[in-house]
């Protein structure tokens, strides 16, 4: 029996919880139409024009998954990955991890650790198959695992393309802007962490300001910096201030990401950060950094076999650190152009690898993370749209639970684009609606309308249409579907300009979800103390 971690006061069985959450998802889309029934035409008009920034619940997927592998192929891939762990081994470039593995009974030769497959299976069996992220606003708690999915913005961009369309270095105010937008966009479930790098703060101090910005400007869940073990410990301390030390013991509140160095290496920085999170019972993404064809074999299935071995070794290590700690099967996945060596996005092979990895994660019964709206375009152009839509649709059909880089990613992650951030978030809402599956709740009522209208009529004025038009078909705000004559009359505005206008509108409507005053002061005091203790320099804090 696999543990279900962190559901708090919800004591229903997992399948009952899924049914309840699915009902809540439908209710979210129904609420506008339901309210419109009571207010007449004026009430409906007011509801259509009133700002509505309520977060969608975590997605409960109800579509069949794309699963290309049969059972024999899954076992063949599993066997290949386990053979890599047993015969080739994984380098753990970290003396503490090496000592931990020795104590756990693994064979260690220098920095190379050889893992027995049954030992790996025994360890990953204790990873919770599902858990719930607890936000500081309990209404924004989101489950992850099984058929549950959340959307998380991109992170790590050294540049942004701003509200004026200018590509430049970001500052802390720019990061705050993205956290505010994340807070207001309904299909985004997290404020992430360093969506863009704040260049106006020393590297050694940035993790403190980034974490505070995530906490201050949104009451959704967020990510925690893992740029060094000391930085990760600071994030954990700040989470303890915000939520309480005891609360962390039983409630996932943030996410750490630990990238592997493919092929087959985990380094001291990532492993130390992993320990900081796992010891405090907080989830980590165990993410091999894959550039298919460069640091993996130049073939889809063998590349997945290597990636799987790397992910399993890190997932197993989280359980060596703390049995039962939540962890997520992760990866950053790109293929490399054999012409230039540049990373690519939106390729068929990336979609195929995501389908395979999703099946493997479900085979091991662990939640898994993929990346959503990736692309290599330099501006918000057609390439950016095609690549992002292809990738996002693939990971939804692959069954990813934690879709990171779901909004803003451009230029292979080198910049976060404000306009793309807005449109990507709407794309997330669109695939959210698709993945919910068909609705049957108004089936009889709609069929009755067919009898009322009869041959040759139309449904636009029928009561069923009037009651259901808000929820019947998704109506994008960012896409223009009017006639070309109307489009020209309204100024020939293209999608980038519309998205930037929408971003400005959202920011003008933003209302800060105030932190508790005492906790806010405690956080600021902690930041001030750590900034005195850590030298202000453009290097990671490894020692203080």
Domains and CATH numbers, the chain: 59-68+128-436 (3.20.20.480)
- Which pLDDT score is estimated for 42? 55
* Per-residue CA distances from 425 to 90, 163, 182 (Å): 38, 16, 9
Query: Beta strand 343-344 with 409-410: parallel, antiparallel or unpaired?
Result: unpaired
Distance of CA 206 to the CA centre of its chain: 22
- Which pLDDT score is estimated for 408? 98
**Two tokens at 304?**
């997945």
**Two tokens at 338?**
């054999």
- Which pLDDT score is estimated for 61? 98
DSSP-assigned letter for residue 415: E
Q: What is the Cα–Cα distance from 191 to 476, expressed in whole angstroms?
A: 23
**Two tokens at 434?**
């698709």
Residue pointed to by tokens 């590349």? 303
HSE-up of 393 (CA within 13 Å, CB side)? 11
Residues 6+ away with beta carbon under 8 Å from 318 = 127, 274, 278, 284, 286, 325, 327
- Which pLDDT score is estimated for 16? 36
Residue 260 dihedral angles phi and psi, to the nearest 5°: -85, 160
* Under-70 pLDDT residues of the chain: 1-51
**Two tokens at 382?**
């057609």
CB neighbourhood size of 18 (10 A): 19
* Per-residue CA distances from 15 to 22, 333, 387 (Å): 10, 31, 35
Residues in the chain: 544
- Which pLDDT score is estimated for 45? 53
Query: Residue ranges of the alpha helices (H) in 405-516?
Result: 418-436, 443-453, 463-472, 484-489, 495-509
- Which pLDDT score is estimated for 51? 65
**pTM of this prediction?**
0.91
CB 66 within 8 A of CB 397: yes
Residues 6+ away with beta carbon under 8 Å from 404 = 152, 154, 155, 192, 257, 285, 369, 370, 371, 372
Q: What is the Cα–Cα distance from 288 to 181, expressed in whole angstroms?
A: 29
CB 228 within 8 A of CB 269: yes
Summarize pLDDT for 58-116 with one digit per residue, the tens: 999 999 999 999 999 999 999 999 999 999 999 999 999 999 999 999 999 999 999 99
């Amino acid at each position: 029996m696999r543990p279900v971690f962190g559901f708090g006061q919800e004591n229903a069985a997992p399948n009952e919880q899924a049914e309840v959450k699915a009902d809540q998802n439908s209710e979210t889309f129904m609420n506008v139409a339901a309210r419109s029934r009571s207010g007449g035409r004026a009430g409906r008009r007011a509801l259509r024009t009133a700002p509505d920034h309520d977060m969608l619940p975590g997605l409960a997927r109800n579509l069949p998954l794309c699963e290309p592998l049969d059972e024999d192929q899954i076992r063949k891939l599993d066997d290949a990955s386990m053979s890599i762990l047993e015969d080739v081994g994984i380098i753990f470039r970290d003396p503490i991890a090496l000592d931990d593995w020795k104590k756990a009974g693994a064979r260690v030769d220098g920095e190379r650790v050889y893992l027995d497959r049954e030992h790996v299976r025994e360890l990953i069996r204790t990873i919770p198959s599902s858990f719930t992220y607890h936000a500081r606003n309990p209404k924004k708690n989101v489950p992850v695992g099984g058929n549950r999915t959340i959307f998380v913005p991109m992170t790590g961009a050294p540049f942004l393309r701003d509200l004026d369309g200018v590509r430049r270095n970001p500052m802390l105010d720019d990061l705050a802007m993205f956290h505010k937008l994340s807070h207001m966009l309904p299909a985004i479930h997290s404020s992430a962490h360093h969506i863009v790098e704040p260049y106006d703060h020393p590297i050694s101090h940035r993790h403190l300001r980034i974490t505070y910005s995530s906490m201050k400007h949104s009451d959704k869940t967020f990510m925690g910096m893992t740029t060094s073990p000391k930085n990760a410990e600071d994030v954990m301390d700040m989470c303890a201030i915000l939520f309480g030390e005891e609360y962390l013991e039983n409630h996932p509140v943030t996410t750490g990401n630990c990238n592997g160095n493919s092929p087959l290496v985990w380094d001291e920085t990532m492993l130390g950060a992993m320990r900081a999170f796992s010891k405090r019972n907080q989830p980590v993404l165990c993410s091999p950094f894959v550039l298919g064809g460069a640091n993996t074999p130049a073939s889809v299935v063998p590349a997945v076999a290597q990636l799987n071995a790397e992910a399993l070794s890190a997932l197993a290590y989280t359980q060596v650190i703390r049995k039962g700690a939540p962890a997520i099967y992760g990866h950053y996945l790109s293929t490399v152009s054999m012409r230039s060596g540049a990373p690519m996005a939106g390729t068929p092979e990336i979609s195929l690898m995501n389908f395979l990895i999703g099946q493997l994660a479900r085979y091991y019964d662990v939640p898994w993370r993929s990346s959503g709206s990736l692309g290599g375009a330099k501006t918000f152009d057609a390439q950016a749209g095609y690549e992002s839509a292809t990738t996002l649709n693939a990971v939804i059909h692959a069954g990813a639970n934690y879709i990171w880089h779901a909004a803003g990613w451009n230029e292979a992650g080198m910049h976060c684009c404000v306009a793309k951030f807005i449109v990507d978030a709407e794309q997330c809402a669109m695939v959210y609606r698709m993945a919910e599956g068909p609705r049957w709740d108004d089936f009889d009522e709609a069929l009755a309308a067919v009898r009322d209208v009869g041959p040759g009529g139309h449904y636009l004025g029928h009561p069923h249409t009037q009651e259901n038009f808000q929820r019947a078909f998704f109506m994008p705000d960012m896409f223009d579907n009017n006639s070309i004559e109307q489009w020209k009359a309204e100024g020939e505005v293209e999608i980038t300009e519309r998205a930037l206008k929408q971003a400005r509108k959202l920011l003008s409507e933003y209302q800060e979800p105030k932190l508790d005053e005492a906790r806010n002061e405690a956080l600021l005091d902690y930041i001030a103390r750590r900034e005195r203790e850590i030298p202000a320099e453009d290097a990671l804090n490894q020692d203080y």
